Amino acid sequence: MSAIGFYLLNFCIRTIAFLPFGFLYFLADGLYYILFYVVGYREAVVRDNLSRAFPEKSPEELLRIEKAFYRHLADMTVESLKMIHMTPKQLSRRIPILNPELLDKYRSEGRSIVAMGAHYCNWEWTLGIVPHLNYKTTGVYKPLNNKRFDRLVNQTRSRFGTEMVGMREVVRVLLKYKRDNTPTFNVFIADQSPVWEEIQFWTSFLNQVTPVYLGPEKLARQFNMAVLFGKVNKTDRGRYSVELIPIEENPLDTSEFEITRKFFKLLEESILEKPEFWLWSHRRWKHTRKREKEESKGIFRFAENNTRK
């Protein structure tokens, strides 16, 4: 995108973000109609993902989930735009932590935390929990290819008190805070798909053999950080809540892959409760299909224990 195109789009986004929630959700209703009925946004991907994840469900049940997903996607789109002009206090009122007392023990011990989340409900709005934490907070992310959009997105995220850290920089940043004796609360959107060349582990997730990142688990073990799952619920339009669920308090005592497996089990339970709130338009199992295709031809690149050869 050219510089002029970017600044025009940025102007439009910031103008829309000034609108009140009531009007934004009116726009979301129209956006849902366009996404689902007019353009069929990633329709083939959504339907393939749903049918693979829920082979036991009828076509009518899958269609209900599909429609509910597009409605939520439209809501989440306008909510993410609204963040540009929301204050940390305004956002924190819309996404409280249900059990903040869980953090008291870790803070008193000076323990840092790995918080594993997912593309579920509105993951951008989970930045609103920062005022409830009383921790130095980092958000670990994969930088966007478009540098202008990368700056725009991270400027918005940083306004809520989170230091955005690229995946390749996270060890350096954590070492710095460790030297300064500063406990950190480190947020990972941990359900992303690794690139094919970097796959080290596959796990069972939503009826699929799924390649996953091991970064959060490795960092937890390297820095002896407690590991939590951030279970997000959508309680109403523009209203969410977060429950912190312990995954592992003593990562050094765990076996390899144990933390990662526990996270995906908890995430799967959340998705099975309310499947419409997961990001079904993401090509999450593209590598699974590639593996299936190769193995059907007799090409086996992965060992029986699901680790990379």
Output the CA torsion 160→22→270→230 (10° steps): 10
Distance separating alpha carbons of residues 233 and 243, to the nearest angstrom: 8
Percent of the chain with pLDDT over 90: 81
Q: What is the pLDDT of residues 58-107, one digit of tens each?
A: 999 999 999 999 999 999 999 999 998 899 999 999 999 999 999 999 99
The pLDDT tens digits for 129-146 are: 998 898 999 999 887 777
State percent of the chain over pLDDT 70.
95
Average pLDDT, the chain: 92
Torsion-angle region of residue 287: left (phi > 0), alpha (psi -120 to 50) or beta? Answer: alpha
> How deeply is 165 buried, as exposed, middle or buried, from its count of CB atoms within 10 A (0-12, 13-18, 19+)?
buried
Residues 6+ away with beta carbon under 8 Å from 88: 128, 130, 131, 159, 160, 161
Give the CA radius of gyration of the chain.
20
Q: How far is the C-alpha of 111 from the C-alpha of 249, rounded, in Å?
A: 10
Confidence of residue 309 (pLDDT cuts 50, 70, 90): very low
pLDDT above 70: residue 5: yes
Q: Where are the domains of the chain?
A: 89-296
280 SS3 class: coil
pLDDT tens digit string along 262-271?
999 999 999 9
Helices (H) and strands (E) in the chain, counts: 11, 8
Contacts of 233 (CB under 8 A, 6+ apart): 121, 240, 241, 242, 243, 274
Q: What is the pTM of this model?
A: 0.92
192-245 pLDDT per residue, tens: 999 999 999 999 999 999 999 999 999 999 999 999 999 999 999 999 999 999
